[in-house]
Structure 1
Amino acid sequence: MAEKTTFRQAMERLDEIVTKLNSNTLELEEAMKLFEEGLKLSRQCETQLKRFENKMNALMVDEGEKKDV
């Protein structure tokens, strides 16, 4: 997945990868490729979640400041 994927796309692909890995029908090489892809997607999702969380916190602080005025 070279192009930037959305959070939803990444989660759907992770679900596919987990299903394939759990099937125990893959050759070791293919399983390792999927595992590596899954790690990259997992890190991408974690980064996106942290960015969204920071933005939500900033919005909540901004909204709190406006209410105090």
Structure 2
Amino acid sequence: MPVLNAHPLAQNVRALQYAQSVQTVLLLLIQLVSVAMGTLRTIPLVNNAHHHALNVLEVLQPALDALMA
């Protein structure tokens, strides 16, 4: 049974754990995409998509860092 009036610190801990889980999933997904792109990098369209994925990571990283702070 969930506690309805959880202590604010417990809520913060859960929020931090959730943010860490999201960050881990995103990083694993990006690594998976990077490995897949590495095998297909000879195709110009795929190579271009890989650069776009890296650009998205560069944009998201400060937000992820802010969540972890």
TM score, norm. by length of structure 2: 0.49
TM score, norm. by length of structure 1: 0.49
Which protein is bigger by CA-based radius of gyration? 1
